[in-house]
Structure 1
Amino acid sequence: MTFDHDAFERWLEHRLGPNHGRRAVVVRDDRILVSKVEPGLPARVIETVERLSELFDPVALREVAQPGPAPVVAWQSAVVRVLERALHEGEISPSEFDEVVAGIESVVALLDACCWTCDGSPDWVPGPAQREALDEAERSLVAGTARLFTRHYGIFDGRPVENHCPGSSVARRLFVAARHFIESAPARRAQLRPKMPDKPELPRSDE
């Protein structure tokens, strides 16, 4: 199929307004993908995250997590601490740090949406409804199913126009690690809580 770039630009401007910043990055017979990020940015973010295995390890994240915040906040702060360590040790650049932090915010937004009953307590755990929402979100991040990070703009020339995050596979791995972190938080705190000594039995006096 042919593709009229000028007509597509007019179509985008009509739907999104001037200075929308998006451009066609993939044109296929079955769909058109657009993006507003600079070329190469998604690939750089994926490559950076893949180098930091701690981001996918709930146990490693638990080791650097600060006690006190609600689970989602604690996970986000632990991830940022891993990134700060990598930045300090020269494993990632300042621009890579900023790019990954921006991507992490999308995962945090999804977690917050699934954990809508969280009251800010560090001991909060997902209930049945929240676990069902987490299950659905995890399934929707699998390639080939409903894509949570896809925005649909309409139909142009018989083809759907979408803005799809190419890092959804990495986002799913981060989401799974975050979910494990959140659901295991109370159990981990119970393990770290100091055990109180058994109360000694008082000697019984003979009557």
Structure 2
Amino acid sequence: MWNLPNILTVIRLIAAPMVAVLFLYFTRPYADWAALILFVGAALTDWVDGYLARAWKQESKMGAMLDPIADKAMVVIALVVLASVFGLDALFVLPAALIVFREVFVSGLREFLGDVAGTLQVTKLAKWKTTVQMVAIALLFAVGIFEHYLVMGTAGMDRDIVLSVLDGTVEDPSHLRLIYQGMYAAWYSGLALLWIAAALTIITGVDYFRKALPHLRD
């Protein structure tokens, strides 16, 4: 059971709650940096462990059980952490709530189905859904990093001067305009991908429920 693919999956499972713990023991932006690096590193193991399991013919029941649990734990915990960072922003909260609802619903459905759940084929769209979720969350973690350096760079500056710097009408030796553009690029691209992920989440959730429906009828 303890082959390399399964070890990577367990590491990803352990990394999921650590993303939240980082914000308890580190100040920002160190927590943001650490969370981003940990999350991206753990997300990459999702591809690596699956590839190695297939290439080395080391696919196992333990890996098949832990892999989706690790993915869901990473996504749900990261969304909770980001919700605490961004607050109740509707543009973020709505897609995040849809994603969490789907993951809880499908997890409960799989638990009810038992061994039958393993016979329901995972679609390529479901794998794309996970990938889009991971990229969106990574971009949203980067927003906090840009935001911190923007605030630090403009501390003590007059508001009109800050606006002039961001408009490009005043010299910008600290590259504040670039940081500002990076922050908004990460925010809006992360939000766009999160909404796409939410749509894919609902589509794949409905598809999974449709496949499970024959096993739910008396």
Query: Structure 2 length as normaliser, TM-score?
Result: 0.28
Query: Structure 1 length as normaliser, TM-score?
Result: 0.29
Greater strand proportion: 1
